Structures are given as C-alpha cells and as structure tokens.
Amino acid sequence: MKQLFLFLFFSTTVFSQKTIELFDSYKLGEKREITIGLPESYEKNPSKKYPIIILLDGDYLFDPFFGALNYGAYWEDLPETIVVGISQNQNDERYDDCTYDEKSGYPSEKGIQFFEFIGAEILPYMEKKYRVAPFRIIAGHDTTAGFLNFFLYKDAPIFNGYISLSPELPIEMETRVPEYLAKLKNPIFYYQSSAESDSKDINEPIKKLDENIKLVVNPLLNYKYDNFKDASHYSLVLQSIPNVLYQFFDVFKPISTAEFTNKIVLLQSGFVDYLTNKYDVISKTLGLKIPVRINDFKAIEAAILKNKAYQELDKLSDIARKNYPKSMLADYELGLMYEKLGDYKKATKSYQNASQLEEIGDLTKTMMLDKFDDMKSQLKK
C-alpha cells in the first residue's frame, strides 16, 4: 500500500486534467496561485456534479491527494472529485495565513483574511465556475491542519469533511473542537492523524483532542484517528490519505464480496430495498446521484436467486428501467423472473424484447436469443 501511494505521489496522473490559475484575491489583497484538478469525465458528462476538496499546503498535498482520488475513482471505489490546491509555500506564507491570537485562540490579522479568502472567495468561485456537489472537504498538514479546525467554530460549518494531518493546535482547540462537534446539526466527517516520532508539543495536544472527541455522543459525527508508529511527520501524509478517503467515502463503494457474503445473502427478504437504500445513502450523504452500478445489480440478482426470492426480480427490473432505459437489463430481469417461476411464455416474450435493446455488462444479444430459444423449447414440452 505504501509503495502504491509513493508511486502515485511521484508520477504524473493520466486520469484527469490539472490547471494552475493565479487568483486575484480581494480578501488577501494579493494574487494567490491555485491548482485545480478536474475528473476525467468532467467534459464528457455536462450534467454530473462532483464533490470538492480544498487543500491547504496545496504545493505538496495536491499530487498525493489527486493521484489517490483518481486511482480510487478508476476502480469506482471513490467518487470522482474536484481537487483545489492553495499555494502557501512562498516566503513562509503558510504561517502568515494561519495567524491566530495566542490569548484568544482565534484567527487574527492575516489569519482572518485567509479564513475569509477560503470561505468567501475560493468556494464561491469554484461553485460558480464548476459543477460542484454539496459535499465539501478541507485538508491541511501541521500548521494548516490546526487552522482548518476554525471552520468548525461556526454554527453551520461550510465543510462536510475535515482532514487534519499531524495538526499543530492553537490554544484551547483540544476542548473547543469537541464542544462544537457535540452540537452538530448536520453530518460531519472528521479525521486526524499523528506520527509516533513527532515531538511531544505536537502529539500531546493531538492525543488530548482524540480523547475528548471520543467522549462526544453525536450520531452525526463520523470520526477516525490514526497514530502511525512507523511514520515521520511527513511520511504520515501518504499513509493517511487512503485511510481518510475510504473513511469519508465508505458509503460510495460498490458491493464487495464481504458485503455480499456477510450481509446481503443472509437477508430473508428485502434484497432490492437494500440496493435502493444503499444509493439513497450515497445521495443523502455525499449529494451524489449516480446510476446503480451493473455489478451491484448482479450482486442483488445473485442474492435473490440464491434465496429463491424470485418475485423481487420484478422490482429489480423497475430499477433497471429507470437507470438504464435503453438497455436490455430490465427485460432480462423480467425474463429471469418468469423463467424461475415457470411462466415460459412470458419469459420468451421478455427475452425477445431484451434481444432488441442495447447490450450492457455481460448481457449480449446472443445471450438473449439463446434464452429465447430455451424458453420456446420449454413451451413445446
């Protein structure tokens, strides 16, 4: 796993398009370089919307995040995501950007300007120019990781996900963050990581924050903490990225072999309901409306057949018709239902209809015609 993400870090991705813009910021009173990575399908799907991740320390966090997201999207484990990296590595800008008052523990001076730059300029700009889904993530490392927590100090946080990699926490943050998380009114994903080799000044506040967050009783909070024993302050980034992405986007993953074996096939009924609920959660949690994957159809079909719940193939056919109206999938599922129920006349008609529609997945016209012939032969018996 480590070698994989090191490769992603040092290689140039071929999956997506990456551009660099010079953003003229009114809030900062200066121009700031931002790097924007769009998914491969962005131009091909003019109605599709994508989650967005804002990367502080974009100078060095952009490539590993961009590579990991696009690798996961290639296998459909992760959703395609718009990535925005904010440059902060010029003349120690990151420290000025993250300025806070050491007595109050709140942003001050340029820290206030940078906070507003992200929320009042970058996000609105991206959402106006690009098709952004209502699922926003922010990530940072050490100084910027501590700073991003200030976005939680709002009654209605503008981000849905917070990735805090080995954060250097401003004063009182160990107690304030849990207090705000306890009062959440909308779902929030929160991740933080640390390296065992880091200094006590960094690790002790992180561990205290972890202890306090674990005391929070709020079903709207999805929290995870990783403490890497074999990592440095910098290598933990490459270990954290896959962990946090698969935490935040867990609901997006297609049905796995383990999910099929340990959950779905053990159901007594409601196999199609399981499928619809899965995609409803994706829509509600991530703000993404995606067609049901063909492999997920096949998994539910297999569970129905194994449990001889053949009537459910009718409902599966309805979902297929909504998701793939031009394909043969819906009529195939109907044909399969009638075949299993012994109604060969209706099965013959359904397979014949299917043979005249578009092929999909492993379903072909030849297969439908063979099914048609099999059903006709059954009728002659």
Question: Considering its fold, how many domains does the chain have in total?
Answer: 2
Sequence-distant (6+) residues with CB within 8 A of 302 are 260, 265
Question: What does the pLDDT read at residue 92?
Answer: 74
- Helix or strand or coil: residue 138? strand
Question: What does the pLDDT read at residue 90?
Answer: 60
Domain with 226 in it: 2-252
Cα radius of gyration (the chain): 25
Residue 233 and residue 195 in contact, taking contact as beta carbons nearer than 8 Å: yes
Residue 246 sits in the same domain as residue 262: no
The answer to whether the Cα torsion of 144, 145, 148, 153 is positive or negative is negative
Residue 221 sits in the same domain as residue 302: no
| E strand residue ranges, the chain | 17-25, 30-38, 50-55, 82-86, 132-141, 161-165, 188-195, 221-228
Q: Identify the bridge partners of residue 31 per DSSP, sorted by sequence position.
A: 24
Residue 51 sits in the same domain as residue 174: yes
Query: Per residue in 218-232, pLDDT tens?
Result: 999 999 999 999 999
Tokens of 89: 């590595």
The residue with tokens 């805090």 is 164
Tokens of 311: 């009537």
Residue 197 and residue 231 in contact, taking contact as beta carbons nearer than 8 Å: yes
Question: What does the pLDDT read at residue 93?
Answer: 83
Residue 192 and residue 164 in contact, taking contact as beta carbons nearer than 8 Å: yes
Last residue of a domain, one of 252, 276, 305: 252
Q: Is 3 exposed, middle or buried (0-12, 13-18, 19+ CB in 10 A)?
A: exposed
Last residue of a domain, one of 219, 252, 285: 252
Counting as low any pLDDT under 70, the low residues of the chain are: 1-16, 90-91
Question: What does the pLDDT read at residue 91?
Answer: 57
Rounded CA-CA distance 232/166 in Å is 10
pTM of the model: 0.90
Query: Per residue in 344-372, pLDDT tens?
Result: 999 999 999 999 999 999 999 999 999 99
Residue 105 sits in the same domain as residue 23: yes
Rounded CA-CA distance 195/356 in Å is 59
Strand pairing category for 132-141 and 50-55:
parallel
Residue 228 sits in the same domain as residue 325: no
Question: What does the pLDDT read at residue 316?
Answer: 98
Rounded CA-CA distance 132/253 in Å is 20
Question: What does the pLDDT read at residue 340?
Answer: 97
The residue with tokens 């959402």 is 127
Residue 216 sits in the same domain as residue 343: no
Last residue of a domain, one of 252, 284, 318: 252
Residue 91 sits in the same domain as residue 66: yes
Residue 92 sits in the same domain as residue 217: yes
HEC letters along 28-48: CCEEEEEEEEECCCCCCCCCC
Q: Write the CA distances from 140 to 53, 61, 170, 270, integer angstroms.
A: 11, 8, 14, 42
The residue with tokens 């539910």 is 300
CATH number at residue 307: 1.25.40.10
Question: What does the pLDDT read at residue 153?
Answer: 96
The answer to whether the Cα torsion of 112, 182, 278, 319 is positive or negative is negative
Residue 293 sits in the same domain as residue 229: no
Going across the sheet that includes 17-25, the strands are 17-25, 30-38, 82-86, 50-55, 132-141, 161-165, 188-195, 221-228
Residue 49 sits in the same domain as residue 135: yes
Residue 72 and residue 55 in contact, taking contact as beta carbons nearer than 8 Å: no
CATH number at residue 112: 3.40.50.1820
Residue 35 sits in the same domain as residue 121: yes
Q: State residue 79 phi and psi, 5-degree precision.
A: -75, 150
Residue 53 sits in the same domain as residue 197: yes
